[in-house]
Amino acid sequence: MPPKTQYVDIKGKIVIASFGDRFIETYWMDEQIGTQKTVQYVSDLFTLDVQKISLQKPTTWFSNFIQNRRNRPLRYLLVEDHVTLNEKETARILRFNSKEIHVYAEVPYYFCFNGTLPKCDCFVFRHGEWITLDHLKNSEITEIFIFRSNLVENDMNQFLKHLMTGGCSQLKFLSLEVRNYFDIQELFVGIEDKVIEVTERRMYITPSNYEYTFNKSFDIRNEGGTRYSICLYCLNTLIIAVQPGDFQFG
């Protein structure tokens, strides 16, 4: 056996374990049994439950195992890059119950999701071509980061009007990277008289502590008095931030 390697008993199963400086690796004949026994062992040992998950492919058995163990949402779910999810795997991720969901893996270009986006505090999706206006309007998410979006000015014009009538009341921050040039003036068609241009430089810190600088932005107020600041950031990223937030002038 290699150095620092020995047999150990994990929940009634005798397996080989390798002890490194930072990690303990265990070797199982069956991946499902190994994963379940290890999670159960560590959870019982430290009297805790799974809080964060980092994975590449969300298999059915693993998703069910984690979801069935918990009465509360995960704190953090990360799907790594350098992999491509199929349709079923992508839909499975969107059914996870987690406070934060970060998906950097690729998804099929033809992927279509008829459900609603998962309710969570923070939602990050690197390949967001499939996300529609209806997904945004029906979302219950505090902070949203979408990259490579196919949404256009008319879509976001409709979304702003939705916000102004009180829709998406839980939204605090939206960052939407678009694939083509975005004319911000087209966002305000039909609501021009409600838009205030702000030329002062402002710093904004998102709920998850990302910092943005608004050199020029536009403010609107909805029927309930909530104020939104809209900024075209780096020419291809539309940002909608709720005030009062962590704004600093100058």
Do 62 and 98 share a domain, yes or no?
yes
Do 165 and 102 share a domain, yes or no?
yes
Contact 133, 158 (CB under 8 A): yes
Do 60 and 109 share a domain, yes or no?
yes
The pLDDT score that the predictor gives to residue 244 is 64
State yes or no: pLDDT of 250 exceeds 60: no
The pLDDT score that the predictor gives to residue 248 is 47
CA separation for the pair 234, 213 (Å, rounded)? 10
Non-local (6+) Cβ contacts of 233 within 8 A are: 175, 212, 214, 239
Single residue among 48, 67, 86 that ends a domain in this structure = 48
State yes or no: pLDDT of 229 exceeds 60: yes
Do 169 and 101 share a domain, yes or no?
yes
Q: Can you tell me the mean pLDDT for 83-109?
A: 93
Do 72 and 5 share a domain, yes or no?
no
State yes or no: pLDDT of 184 exceeds 90: no
Helix axes 60-69, 31-46, angle to 10 degrees: 20
Do 39 and 57 share a domain, yes or no?
no
The pLDDT score that the predictor gives to residue 246 is 46
Do 3 and 96 share a domain, yes or no?
no
Sorting pLDDT into bands at 50, 70 and 90, what band is 247? very low
Q: Which two tokens stand for residue 202?
A: 């402002």
Q: Can you tell me the mean pLDDT for 17-35?
A: 80
Do 128 and 159 share a domain, yes or no?
yes
Contact 143, 212 (CB under 8 A): no
- If DSSP codes are grouped into helix, strand and coil, which group holds residue 81? coil
The pLDDT score that the predictor gives to residue 238 is 94
Which residue range forms the structural domain that includes residue 119? 52-249
The pLDDT score that the predictor gives to residue 233 is 86
Contact 103, 124 (CB under 8 A): yes
Do 34 and 143 share a domain, yes or no?
no
Do 44 and 93 share a domain, yes or no?
no
Do 26 and 142 share a domain, yes or no?
no
Sorting pLDDT into bands at 50, 70 and 90, what band is 17? confident
Q: Can you tell me the mean pLDDT for 52-58?
A: 84
State yes or no: pLDDT of 249 exceeds 50: no
Q: Can you tell me the mean pLDDT for 34-52?
A: 80
Contact 91, 63 (CB under 8 A): no
Do 71 and 171 share a domain, yes or no?
yes
**Which tens digit of pLDDT belongs to each residue from 110-160?**
999 999 999 999 999 999 999 999 999 999 999 999 999 999 999 999 999
Number of domains in the chain: 2
Question: CATH number of the domain that 130 lies in?
Answer: 3.80.10
Mean pLDDT, the chain, whole residue set:
88
State yes or no: pLDDT of 61 exceeds 60: yes
The residue among 161, 163, 145 whose CA lies nearest residue 239 is 145
